[in-house]
Amino acid sequence: MKHLYLFLLLMLTIGTTNGQDDLLSLLGNDEPTIYSYASFKTNRVINLHSLENTAAGVLDFKISHRFGTIDGGVGELFGLDYSTMHLGFDYGISDLLSVGIGRGSYQKTYDSFLKYKFLRQSTGAKNMPITAALLLTAAVQTQTWPISTVSHPFSDRMYYTGQLILGRKFSERLSLQLSPTVVQRNYVTTEGEKNMVFALGTAGRFKLSNRVAINAEYIYLLPNQVSSDIKNSLSIGFDIETGGHVFQLHFTNSTSMIEKGFVAETTNSWADGGIHFGFNISRVFTVVNKNKG
């Protein structure tokens, strides 16, 4: 009986302690970690990858178009007579890790990427002022080489990109990010060009309403790396959410929709009317329900 009384006393003590802990938790002593979300509407700003990742178990199907430049005038319907297209599939392995593949008509290029978010902006028990992610990409262009006496090994077709994405959601309306970038080009056409190109991307989003936001991005190329006809990429556009889809309508001087192209191969200039109207359409599908018990 003495042992039974001791056991009951111990259970009562534990129950009382747990009750006190629950009460303290309700009073706010057990502070949770609150993570920032929806810094950008999708995992792209316009061309650049954004702070956001594809959610775990979700497949994001993207269709991207860039029409011809508006300096073609009425005769070419301000560029609408021509278009460049890219199809992509992004998949969230987890909420922090996503992968993707794609194919673009520009230089008939196949591409892939891996993106890992290693810091998440948060407040509460864990206070982190920024979100940070690492992006690694590879691409191979498959178009026929121009007629030349030069023999090209397959490695000349390969391109690689490394990018660090750093950003912060400052308020419900404003998000900003920086994207230090390096592009490795295995083949360049002139001796004055560098195989490895360094650039700094900047981007921002301002939310106009619950379904509409304005986005902008600018990619600055460090000097003396590329030929003189290569320009810095500048893009401005709108995100429009319609439930299951996100439409991104924009203007840009870049034709390519992957890093090796819009970072290191943009030849058009806004000042000369070398502006493409374009759009991205994003449609997500839940392939694996990660939250299912």
Pick 38-286's CATH classification: 2.40.160.40, 3.30.310.50, 2.10.109.10, 2.40.50.140. Answer: 2.40.160.40
60 residue type, one letter: D
HEC letters along 76-137 = HHHHCCCEEEEEEEEEECCCCEEEEEEEECHHHEEEEEEEEEEECCEEECCCECCEEEEEEE
pTM: 0.82
Q: Pseudo-torsion of CA 124, 125, 126, 127, nearest 10°?
A: 40
pLDDT of res. 111: 96
pLDDT of res. 24: 43
pLDDT of res. 117: 95
Q: Residue ranges of the chain with pLDDT lower than 50?
A: 1-24, 293
pLDDT of res. 243: 72
pLDDT of res. 81: 83
Task: Output the CA–CA distances (angstroms, integers) from residue 161 to 34, 38, 100, 157, 288, in the order listed.
Answer: 32, 25, 14, 14, 29
Are residues 186 and 166 in contact, defined by beta-carbon separation less than 8 angstroms? Answer: no
Strand, coil or helix: 201: strand
pLDDT tens-digit map of 144-159:
887 776 778 888 899 9
Q: In this structure, is the dihedral angle defined by the CA atoms of residues 148, 229, 226 and 88, taken in order, positive or negative?
A: negative
As a whole number of angstroms, the distance between CA 40 and CA 58 comes to 17
pLDDT of res. 80: 86
Neighbours of 225 (CB within 10 A): 18
Length of the chain counted residue by residue: 293
As a whole number of angstroms, the distance between CA 147 and CA 291 comes to 55
pLDDT tens-digit map of 213-247:
999 999 999 998 888 889 999 999 999 988 767 88
Contacts of 126 (CB under 8 A, 6+ apart): 33
- How far apart, in Å, do the first and last CA atoms of the chain sit? 43
pLDDT of res. 113: 97
pLDDT of res. 17: 43
As a whole number of angstroms, the distance between CA 159 and CA 139 comes to 5
